[in-house]
Amino acid sequence: MESRNQTNTAPVENDAFWVQHHESQQSSGLSRSDYCRQNGLNYDRFGYWLKKQKERVGGRLIAVKLKSTPLTAVSATLCTFELKNGHCLKIHDIQTLSLILDRYE
């Protein structure tokens, strides 16, 4: 006999929840429908989340390599490009500036 004070708490379906399931589904080799069935997930909700993720990143991911630079090593801005979208690109490295200028001569 169950106590009436027990609560049935469902997992929180936030981004971390769906990311974990998406990664697990991808590595399992199962179709999305089979994975959902085996893990008690709502197929349509999983699909909705996947669609929203693709919209957030424009349907593609872009790899970016970041270079760690100590604050003391940051040099002065050599050049600033004002872009049409309102952003600006500041160049601090002479080699990068040379590459850009060579490309657009």
The reply to whether 77 falls in a domain is yes
Q: How far is residue 82 from each of residues 29, 74, 85, 97, measured CA to CA in Å?
A: 46, 21, 9, 15
Report yes or no on whether pTM surpasses 0.85.
no
Q: Averaged over 36-63, what is the pLDDT? A: 80
Position 62 scores a pLDDT of 55
Q: Is residue 62 part of a domain?
A: no
Domain count, the chain: 2
Burial readout 82-99 (b: 16 or more C-beta within 10 A, e: otherwise)? eeeeeeeeebeeeeeeee
Q: How much is the mean pLDDT over the chain?
A: 77
Q: Which domain holds residue 78?
A: 71-103
Confidence of residue 68 (pLDDT cuts 50, 70, 90): low
**Residue 49 and residue 20 share a domain:** yes
